Amino acid sequence: MTIESELLDFAQDLRWNDIPKSVRDVVVALTGDAIANAISGRGAPDSLAVEAASRDLYGPGESTVIAGGRTSLVGAVGVNAFQVTAQTMCDVYRPGLCHVTPEVVPAALGVAEVRDADGQTLLTAVAAGLEATVRLCSAFKLSGVSRTGWHSPGIAGALGASVTTGLLNGLDATALAGCFGLAGAQSGGTFASMGTMAVKFHQLRGAQAAVIAALHAGRGLVGSSKFLARVTVGSFVRFRINLNRTCC
């Protein structure tokens, strides 16, 4: 079994009622916190510029911009991700130096809206994405990836959020693995962006990468199923353990 398949098997097997109540409460709280941050972030100096650029790039549509209007799916996910992180008040997984909800929650909300997913399905997918992201962050730190200058939201965030979007799109095991690989193919961002608004762009692109990956994988275009093969991930495996200890 590969590292990727163990992670994705965990995600596909996850059921809301199997998650400990304490963790379910955290998932609900983090989702609500992300939405509240997006409402606050609507007033951030660059949010309207991000929305204008998104409309230019992706066109109109019917997806919801939190505290705003409607635009395309990819555009709305990007704007919402930016708004969640714009005031730098969202969650942070400190061991991985990663804001997690800006990538996972806007991607989840965007796809759930299009797919008309119910609340439990949405929150289960969010839980899987949060879990995947923080474990990827941990693995990257232990393997030395983070010491080379890579910023985790654009990498671990994109990969973790792709678990969420893949589940919400109902991808089978093969397509979900391909979705994960496509998200990895789009991942990026380094600490060179620190001190500029470009650091927020890592979260924005992480969320969008997950949506783009899932849409392509659902149409049969998939990425590598062994994207993590070149990363040394000593304590990375064993995803089926104690969810009480994670989710930021």
Q: 208-247 pLDDT, tens per residue?
A: 999 999 999 999 998 888 888 755 444 444 444 344 444 4
Q: What number is the average pLDDT over the span 62-72?
A: 97
Task: Give the pLDDT score at 241.
Answer: 37
Task: Give the pLDDT score at 142.
Answer: 55
Q: Tens digit of pLDDT for each residue in 4-59? A: 888 999 999 999 999 999 999 999 999 999 999 999 999 999 999 999 999 999 99
Task: Give the pLDDT score at 230.
Answer: 58
d(CA 60, CA 92): 32
Task: Give the pLDDT score at 225.
Answer: 86
What DSSP letter does each residue of 35-98 carry, written as one string?
Answer: HHHHHHHTTSTTHHHHHHHHHHHH---SEEPTTS-EE-HHHHHHHHHHHHHHTS-S--BGGGTB
Q: Tens digit of pLDDT for each residue in 4-15? A: 888 999 999 999
Q: What are the structure tokens assigned to 101, written together?
A: 């909800």
- Taking the alpha carbons at both ends of the chain, their separation in whole angstroms is 27
Give the count of alpha carbons within 13 A of 192, CB side only.
4
Measured at the alpha carbon of residue 214, what is the angle toward residues 227 and 72, in degrees to the nearest 5? 135
Residue 93 sits at φ, ψ, to 5 deg, of -90, 95
Q: Tens digit of pLDDT for each residue in 99-127? A: 999 999 999 999 999 999 999 999 999 99
d(CA 21, CA 245): 12
Q: Tens digit of pLDDT for each residue in 160-209? A: 999 999 999 999 999 999 999 999 999 888 877 777 777 899 999 999 99
Q: Tens digit of pLDDT for each residue in 131-147? A: 999 988 888 765 566 66
Task: Give the pLDDT score at 235.
Answer: 43
- Other beta carbons less than 10 A from residue 116's beta carbon: 7
